[in-house]
Structure 1
């Protein structure tokens, strides 16, 4: 001991007592605890003793980034060794072994940290950046050095739980580590940033590291200063521009004195409560500001204190306005601009929901937390070794040579541990919302103009659609299985178009990933939306007009038109792209039985999903009017050049077992300047089986010419979807053949029936897309040749006008919701009739 901090009578280091008597072991706490017990045998198999110093050991290799391999594991071992209803049969060992290995991990981390003896470094491992080196960030950049706040916080939590069992040497080692981090970073100013690489993550992990020292060592001479600086880092973790002006809020929440305006000096969130990391709105980095600051709230709960309000600032608006609006039924957040980590991240959303339920009393979070916990338990139950992610995680390579799915197991376990502790020391949380009521209440359209996307939820939680026009330009349609069936791959729908010899700047060619779009026009309604955008591929040699329309019942229509601005050589064109999950988890048979079946009009093909040493399988199909996937989602196609299914087994970077369905495989072609390709369009039908998809294909039609600067699609005989790609207001005209005796839908505007043809006219503003639902249905009989009949029906406001343009008498029957009862009308040749809506 160096004499700078001697609190107790015997010269020891004082820490706050844990209020063990307050811990409860029921409900969600007990469920999470049992899951952690089942994880212990897996973690135990990855423990290794370290012989450089007595009583030391490490987990999961011992030389991972920032010491996280051991740091995230030891709090689980520490807590289970002294708290909760331990069961040796489930854990596979006695509590004493958990305690011994937790302390061994504490000592290993403390000795190999920068604050420890200089000659003690971590073990040799596969990660060349960490192997046989210290951790702590002494010679690293700000980003890497501050990121050790994760591990410092985990080390502090494990040490605190076992403080009475630690010897003086180990206590002093821990003391030096947390002191080192707090002193190094507390006086640095939080960083500002929201685009591309948000500072939510960095600011909150610094707050987390400083909080470890401030919470663990309340009697330290610099504790008051640490706590003051922690509050600033925590407050500046989740901020919008509004917070920099909202002085009253900051003064109100400082119980001792007013806070100067400069206390908030960052904006880390867009005004619509989105933010970006890795160059797009990323679900992981949206929730990290909540999750990382929650470690302070845990210290407070476990010691019987109130959490500092600045560690909770903006949790609620971020959650209510953005996070939960993008959550599917099992509590997982849908990555509307794609995902570059692994898909099964229920653990991190589970913790977010738990924080909002226990700390903030949010009923919707309480509902979603239960579903997320159940889902994660199903995944764990499916893995024979008790792990949370992938049973054969070493085979799931994220970075070749030194990072696999196994490396993230302890992250999942620590999140489950913190959920357990939140409920054990914070109670059951909010009473959960009724699932159906919540689903209906959260239905609707939600636009995020700064994040660059729009979301439509319909049918409770049965359908989800979104379109993103910035960062990753893509359209997504999901049914009840959510991302268990189809996933938001980068360039979903908009596709991959590779050009030879283009002049574009690397990274901005919009070939593999579409980074941006121009001339974006979004129209939202209460129950749907329409959007158009212009994508420039390569160096601008090829332009792709796209439209995405989401209908009230969850169906969507995607349409595109490609045209050459200059002569260009297209090496590959794969649009109408859909990512397909094909996982195997025996406890999730409804969504993850390891097979996907593609249904076509004449055949069905089943693909087995797995990640391993096998060649990818490709199947192509031509002249296909529709396909259906697994009897759960259908696609009706117009202008497709062929369908391809790629059953992948090898992945350059693992995210899960993800296949690719390409609805418009156009291959290679040469285009001359000014040449335009025919329109491609797809109607997506969530929650439809093969028969329903075939019926929709039979009752739907492309009404516009394939080479027109517009798209009109009739969906299921009851809705017209349109997109005007021109830069002028136009009247769009659509035509289709009419079968004898066929009932004809009537839409707002002019509807013309000419013998065997039907024509609709719709005014459309420049660069607009939208939809019109049929307001009436018309059928009629005529005494003469039906081919000579001619009838106009104009629906305008509360008026319906019928004009018989032929010489033949017509008996017309009108029905629909806008009439109280069906009406049968007699129209003499050349006659006109006006009706008023009921």
Structure 2
């Protein structure tokens, strides 16, 4: 393990080009171990053996070519950089150029316009003319442009052949349309990215003007809403609506991919900015089309930023957790649009990247991922090299972090995203959310308290828990829900079915307006025997970011739970309350809270690049009733200190009503949930309270 000296993040110059190049140099010895010499002219990084891909599976052409394009961008930057440190990288600059020449030559020879064929490339031993090959070729174009004067002539000629071929795929082609489930915005963005580089590097090609026009068209159709299709304001010589042939986003600019709202895809505007960079680097004025809705989409994305630079995924995450988010888009939003939040996020992520590399100690960027010579893990590593390269190529503005108080103050407010069935409360005490349609058609909640951004995570069954029959997890099917949102809080009340209606769960989730307190009320009945019935579910990251340990305390005990390398177990607290990392408190109306110590990385399901422990409840059935409880959540350090006063169930005369009294930031509150289909009246403190059908009310005492 290499003990890299930490970057000086306290320096006024951090992050500088020298800082980024230093991290890239650390990576070179790691990637060099995977170099393969085919002969004196050809070579590549990684493996072509699918059996060595980690994790197994994945689109073969993407796994290989995309990874190489990212790595080559980094090598091109290092070759040109005055800050290159051969003593850290272990190779000299001529070695870098040799890799660039041989690898680009190898890539182009295996393109469908070339002559070589090698297994396991999917198109009869070749690649190209693919749904994502625009992205791969545009990435390589940036590397080629960076070192064009130094590359062998036959390498340049081969690449320009590939670039023209991929650009010609879009002659006379309109952008594809897609809004629900699988937005087409990222595909249109990377096609616009390619067309920009095709035009800028081959301006004398017979189809160059067509590439320019199609690039504008695909850029305009990256983020589109229904309003764009009726917008008659002038844009580049015609009504804006005449540029639009798609709808890729909902009216509030949320986008769906992999089945539901996915914040990461709001960041695909970075591909348009990388296309725009082609014009800037070649001395041309970028068309304004490459900025269409860029700022608007980023404004939605930034609502999910956390103070430490991470992004919250309140509808679930099926990519790896917490890849260092060092996209050039943050730099552009800071420098050109004056968004200090963007600069803060990039600063925090570069700091995190340095910490991650030092935790790995072997040249990997992401300490949470295993070494791999192929597959997604390999691709994600090379991807960071490419992103660092883009930042250096584009130039690093002078951004700095903002204060925690300023960050939290600006994020205050509640957002309702009706098209994706999501509500989010942001306050000085943190983030709290609930989604009725998350990835894989799940239902889930999320809580990230202030001070717990490195510790509190989430997964697809958070807040709703798990039902299993004979080892098989039952899938939720939300029937209906009633949502209410105010400026500072929200409530949602609904019904979920499992196993074709054999299990029926009524659940209410309320984020109080005090910004600190929330409650989950869960009542479930079942007509089948359940082998697992675990309620609530709250996830705790326990990894190197929080020093591989989490402190929990409960009535009568305190534990320091070790993360990776610990002992897998379930800690029975014999307590109705628990505090996590000093910034989150949870309290039930009588059930014991249990803490599942995972001991090894376990999420997301496919990638397993993050260790998440879990807090949950176990229930004893009483006839058909298999759950009947309330759980109060308090965010922030002050909120955690308020745990221990108890959660009192208030007696009701109607079995369809549930009422609970508990302490909030501003005093005591009573929350009443009506799980029936008719309006109900309940007596609370001598007063009659009306509760609409399938609704929840909050009474502050």
What interval of TM-score do these two structures reach, taking the shorter chain for normalisation?
0.7 to 0.9
Pick one of 676, 680, 703 that aligns with 2:650.
Answer: 703
Pick one of 462, 467, 488 that aligns with 1:492.
Answer: 462
Where do residues 328-339 of structure 1 align in structure 2 (5 Å cutoff)? 328-339=306-317
1:562 Cα deviation from its structure 2 partner: 0.8
The answer (yes or no) to whether the contact 2:29–2:363 under 8 Å persists in 1 is yes
1:181 Cα deviation from its structure 2 partner: 0.7
Confirm or deny that 1:527 pairs with 2:501: no
Pick one of 334, 343, 346 that aligns with 2:324.
Answer: 346
Mapped to 1, the partners of 2:317 and 2:178 lie a distance apart of: 21
The answer (yes or no) to whether the contact 1:150–1:205 under 8 Å persists in 2 is yes
1:707 Cα deviation from its structure 2 partner: 5.3
Mapped to 1, the partners of 2:636 and 2:491 lie a distance apart of: 21
Mapped to 2, the partners of 1:307 and 1:84 lie a distance apart of: 28
Confirm or deny that 1:559 pairs with 2:521: yes
2:431 equivalent in structure 1: 464
Where do residues 589-738 of structure 1 align in structure 2 (5 Å cutoff)? 592-610=546-564, 617-621=568-572, 623-640=574-591, 643-649=594-600, 651=602, 653-666=606-619, 675-677=624-626, 679-688=628-637, 693=640, 696-704=643-651, 709-716=657-664, 717-733=667-683
Residue aligned with 1:156, SS: helix
Cα separation, partners in 2 of 1:683 and 1:352, compared to 1, 3 Å: farther
Name the TM-score, length of structure 2 as normaliser: 0.88
Return the index of the structure with the highest Cα Rg: 1
Confirm or deny that 1:766 pairs with 2:690: no
Cα separation, partners in 2 of 1:679 and 1:715, compared to 1, 3 Å: farther
Name the TM-score, length of structure 1 as normaliser: 0.74
Give a deviation string over 1:254-275, Cα, whole Å, max 9, x none: 2xx3268442111111111111
2:303 equivalent in structure 1: 325
Mapped to 1, the partners of 2:253 and 2:210 lie a distance apart of: 31
Mapped to 2, the partners of 1:480 and 1:420 lie a distance apart of: 33
Give a deviation string over 1:583-612, Cα, whole Å, max 9, x none: 12xxx4xxx21123443323334433227x
Confirm or deny that 1:311 pairs with 2:262: no
The answer (yes or no) to whether the contact 2:320–2:607 under 8 Å persists in 1 is yes
Residue aligned with 1:295, SS: helix
268-277 or 715-724, larger mean C-alpha shift: 715-724
The answer (yes or no) to whether the contact 1:113–1:134 under 8 Å persists in 2 is yes
The answer (yes or no) to whether the contact 1:272–1:451 under 8 Å persists in 2 is no
1:327 Cα deviation from its structure 2 partner: 0.7
The answer (yes or no) to whether the contact 2:70–2:139 under 8 Å persists in 1 is yes
The answer (yes or no) to whether the contact 1:62–1:70 under 8 Å persists in 2 is no
Mapped to 1, the partners of 2:418 and 2:452 lie a distance apart of: 24
1:818 equivalent in structure 2: none
1:435 Cα deviation from its structure 2 partner: 5.0
Residue aligned with 1:232, SS: helix
Confirm or deny that 1:157 pairs with 2:142: yes
Gaps of 5+ in 1: 1-24, 138-144, 396-400, 502-508, 735-750, 753-759, 775-838
CA RMSD of aligned residues (A): 2.9
Mapped to 2, the partners of 1:650 and 1:238 lie a distance apart of: 35
Residue aligned with 1:563, SS: strand
Where do residues 110-149 of structure 1 align in structure 2 (5 Å cutoff)? 110-117=108-115, 120-122=116-118, 133-137=125-129, 145-149=130-134
Where do residues 440-519 of structure 1 align in structure 2 (5 Å cutoff)? 440-459=409-428, 462-471=429-438, 472-499=442-469, 514=476, 516-519=477-480
The answer (yes or no) to whether the contact 1:710–1:732 under 8 Å persists in 2 is no
Residue aligned with 2:165, SS: helix
Give a deviation string over 1:256-308, Cα, whole Å, max 9, x none: x32684421111111111111111212222212x1222221222232333322
**How many pairs were matched up?**
668
Give a deviation string over 1:776-811, Cα, whole Å, max 9, x none: xxxxxxxxxxxxxxxxxxxxxxxxxxxxxxxxxxxx
1:39 equivalent in structure 2: 27
Cα separation, partners in 2 of 1:687 and 1:156, compared to 1, 3 Å: same
Gaps of 5+ in 2: 1-12, 50-59
Cα separation, partners in 2 of 1:621 and 1:627, compared to 1, 3 Å: same
1:418 equivalent in structure 2: 390
Mapped to 1, the partners of 2:519 and 2:279 lie a distance apart of: 50
- Ranked by relative contact order (alpha carbons within 8 Å, sequence separation 6 or more), the top structure is 2
The answer (yes or no) to whether the contact 1:733–1:762 under 8 Å persists in 2 is yes
Mapped to 1, the partners of 2:166 and 2:336 lie a distance apart of: 27
1:578 equivalent in structure 2: 538
Cα separation, partners in 2 of 1:763 and 1:408, compared to 1, 3 Å: same
Mapped to 2, the partners of 1:314 and 1:371 lie a distance apart of: 25
Mapped to 2, the partners of 1:83 and 1:527 lie a distance apart of: 49
1:779 equivalent in structure 2: none
2:9 equivalent in structure 1: none
1:481 Cα deviation from its structure 2 partner: 4.2
1:576 Cα deviation from its structure 2 partner: 0.5
